[in-house]
Amino acid sequence: MTDRTRAHVFVSGKVQGVYYRANTRDAARERGVDGWVRNLPDGRVEAVFEGPSDAVESMVEWCHTGSPAARVDGVEAEYGDPEGEDGFRIRR
Protein backbone atom coordinates (compact mmCIF):
# COMPACT_ATOMS: atom_id res chain seq x y z
CA MET A 1 0.00 0.00 0.00
CA THR A 2 1.23 3.46 -0.89
CA ASP A 3 1.87 5.97 1.86
CA ARG A 4 -0.93 8.52 1.44
CA THR A 5 -1.19 12.00 2.90
CA ARG A 6 -3.23 15.21 2.78
CA ALA A 7 -1.94 18.76 2.43
CA HIS A 8 -4.11 21.82 3.12
CA VAL A 9 -2.42 24.72 1.34
CA PHE A 10 -2.80 28.51 1.27
CA VAL A 11 -1.02 30.43 -1.50
CA SER A 12 -0.53 34.19 -1.35
CA GLY A 13 0.63 36.68 -3.98
CA LYS A 14 -0.79 37.49 -7.40
CA VAL A 15 -2.63 34.19 -7.67
CA GLN A 16 -6.16 35.18 -8.71
CA GLY A 17 -7.13 36.02 -12.28
CA VAL A 18 -4.00 34.30 -13.64
CA TYR A 19 -5.39 30.78 -14.31
CA TYR A 20 -3.84 29.54 -11.05
CA ARG A 21 -6.81 27.31 -10.22
CA ALA A 22 -7.05 25.77 -13.70
CA ASN A 23 -3.31 25.12 -13.78
CA THR A 24 -3.46 23.63 -10.27
CA ARG A 25 -6.26 21.28 -11.36
CA ASP A 26 -4.31 20.16 -14.42
CA ALA A 27 -1.08 19.63 -12.45
CA ALA A 28 -2.92 17.64 -9.77
CA ARG A 29 -4.65 15.42 -12.33
CA GLU A 30 -1.32 14.76 -14.08
CA ARG A 31 0.09 13.55 -10.74
CA GLY A 32 -2.99 11.50 -9.77
CA VAL A 33 -3.74 13.76 -6.80
CA ASP A 34 -7.29 14.22 -5.50
CA GLY A 35 -8.71 17.33 -3.85
CA TRP A 36 -9.87 20.83 -4.73
CA VAL A 37 -8.76 24.44 -5.22
CA ARG A 38 -10.61 27.75 -4.77
CA ASN A 39 -10.11 31.50 -4.54
CA LEU A 40 -10.52 33.16 -1.15
CA PRO A 41 -12.05 36.63 -0.61
CA ASP A 42 -8.71 37.91 0.77
CA GLY A 43 -6.90 37.26 -2.52
CA ARG A 44 -5.26 33.97 -1.58
CA VAL A 45 -5.86 30.57 -3.16
CA GLU A 46 -6.76 27.61 -0.94
CA ALA A 47 -6.20 24.00 -2.00
CA VAL A 48 -6.38 20.49 -0.62
CA PHE A 49 -4.25 17.71 -2.09
CA GLU A 50 -4.67 14.03 -1.22
CA GLY A 51 -2.76 11.08 -2.59
CA PRO A 52 0.60 9.34 -2.48
CA SER A 53 2.98 11.34 -0.29
CA ASP A 54 5.47 12.01 -3.09
CA ALA A 55 2.74 13.26 -5.44
CA VAL A 56 1.23 15.51 -2.75
CA GLU A 57 4.65 16.93 -1.93
CA SER A 58 5.21 17.53 -5.66
CA MET A 59 1.97 19.58 -5.74
CA VAL A 60 2.98 21.64 -2.71
CA GLU A 61 6.30 22.39 -4.43
CA TRP A 62 4.43 23.21 -7.65
CA CYS A 63 2.39 25.82 -5.74
CA HIS A 64 5.56 27.87 -5.14
CA THR A 65 5.62 28.64 -8.88
CA GLY A 66 2.06 27.98 -9.98
CA SER A 67 0.71 29.24 -13.27
CA PRO A 68 2.99 31.14 -15.67
CA ALA A 69 1.26 34.49 -14.97
CA ALA A 70 1.25 34.08 -11.18
CA ARG A 71 3.56 35.73 -8.68
CA VAL A 72 3.66 33.58 -5.56
CA ASP A 73 4.73 35.35 -2.36
CA GLY A 74 4.11 32.54 0.09
CA VAL A 75 2.87 28.96 0.49
CA GLU A 76 1.62 27.59 3.81
CA ALA A 77 0.93 23.86 4.04
CA GLU A 78 -0.49 21.75 6.85
CA TYR A 79 -0.29 17.98 6.56
CA GLY A 80 -2.68 15.38 7.88
CA ASP A 81 -4.47 12.14 7.13
CA PRO A 82 -6.50 11.81 3.90
CA GLU A 83 -10.22 12.43 4.28
CA GLY A 84 -11.36 10.62 1.12
CA GLU A 85 -11.27 13.26 -1.64
CA ASP A 86 -12.15 11.75 -5.00
CA GLY A 87 -11.02 13.46 -8.18
CA PHE A 88 -9.77 17.04 -8.39
CA ARG A 89 -12.09 20.00 -8.86
CA ILE A 90 -12.22 23.78 -8.82
CA ARG A 91 -14.55 25.02 -6.09
CA ARG A 92 -16.45 28.26 -6.66
Q: Which residues are catalytic?
A: 21, 39
Report how far apart the first and last C-alpha atoms of the chain are (Å, whole number).
33
> Sign of the CA dihedral 54, 31, 2, 80?
positive
